[in-house]
Amino acid sequence: MSRSSTSPKWAWKIGSIRGIPLRIHATFPLVLLWAAWEWGRNGSLHTALYGMALVVALFGCVVLHELGHAFVARWRGIVVEEILLLPLGGLAQFRSPLDNPRDEFLVAVAGPLVNLALIGVLLPPTLVPLVSLTQFGLINALTTPGWQSLAFYLLLTNALLAGFNLLPIFPMDGGRMLRATLTAGLSYERATWVAVRLGQSVAVLMGLYGFFQNLWFLLMGVFLFFAAEQEMRRLAQRQLLDTAHVGNHMTRRGLTFAPSTHVHSAYLVARMSLQPIWPVVERGRLLGLVSRAAIEKAAASASRIADIMQTSYPVLTPRDTLYRAQTLLAESNSEAAAVIENGVFVGIFSVYDLMHALRQLEETPA
């Protein structure tokens, strides 16, 4: 799966792949303990360790699946924040939403294609041993510790990962591919509604089956249902932000600093002001932006504002929608953007302005 989101607090970085952080959720070790219990309760320490090895191999395939999403996203110019491993699977997380249907389809389909490629790699060298192994039954083939059963397990795992992710259940890959395809004939909003409601219907059926038969299906059904509902809330917020414009919610210049201002003097001003971002202006020309955090960090130094200001920043116009502003701030990983009209600096728009505007819009009757 893939999504745009921030990482949970209870997640730890365990490494990085091509500059993409790999993190595991704090609950992930519970999966290893469960595997050790399931495999070791009727066997030995050896079988318990083998069960844990199977889970590690499974999540190795999940990581490769998510890397498929991540590398295609990078190819499409999308910033990949991290890959997060959860007990129920993995998430490739992006800095901003995949609003372009072509990008969403290509990124979504890449994951299952990786699993199909792994099947193609694993099948030829293991086909003959597996034929003899499965003569004793599928269960024995999966539960007998050894390299041959491990190979069979990996084949089955990748087939299930590809098949399950291709189901039209939003936010699984198949659900995202469905939405991207539907936008050819429907609006983005209507395509999202169809994909989400279809996915939630399947999630309910999955949960009902799991309630009577299998706890894993119940947990997955509940997770998918609420993950799809979260997308509907994101869409509602997007529609709300698309109705308002930067010019009505920006900070119109406010207090400014000159580049020669000493940081300590700026710190004293910042302590008495609620303004989170300050333009750095000289002779009416915008030179950069400086944040409260940057001022507080350098307060004890003898620096000047010119030494700590941010000279590279996103630019908006008063006519841009708030959704455009939200997306630009996320893509640039910036706290604020300069608002320029006809080449003239007229104000700043920060994440704080965005949050304040969103609260106002949500409180305003439709």
Which active-site residues does the annotation give?
66
Residues with Cβ within 8 Å of 343's Cβ and at least 6 positions away in sequence, in order, are none
113 close to 135: Cβ distance less than 8 angstroms: no
Token reading at 345: 């600096």
**Amino acid identity for residue 20 in this structure:** I
Q: CA 305, CA 282: separation in Å to the nearest integer?
A: 12
Q: Is 69 annotated as a binding residue?
A: yes
Q: Is 299 helix (H, G, I), strand (E, B) or coil?
A: coil
The DSSP letter of residue 243 is T
Token reading at 259: 């580049």
Q: CA 22, CA 28: separation in Å to the nearest integer?
A: 13
Q: Is 300 helix (H, G, I), strand (E, B) or coil?
A: coil
Q: CA 180, CA 166: separation in Å to the nearest integer?
A: 13
Q: CA 92, CA 70: separation in Å to the nearest integer?
A: 6
* CB neighbour burial string for 266-301, b if at least 16 within 10 angstroms, e if fewer: bbeebeeeebbbbbbbeeeebbbbbbbebbeebeee
Q: Is 346 helix (H, G, I), strand (E, B) or coil?
A: strand
> Does an H or E element contain 178, and which?
helix 173-182
Q: CA 352, CA 298: separation in Å to the nearest integer?
A: 22
Tokens 């304040």 sit on residue: 356
CA-based nearest residue to 219, from 210, 230, 227: 210
Name the pairing type of β-strands 315-316 and 336-341: parallel
Provide the CB-side half-sphere exposure for 50 (13 A, CA): 19
Residues with Cβ within 8 Å of 122's Cβ and at least 6 positions away in sequence, in order, are 151, 154, 155, 158
CA-based nearest residue to 322, from 269, 289, 271, 360: 360
Binding residues for Zn(2+): 65, 69, 173
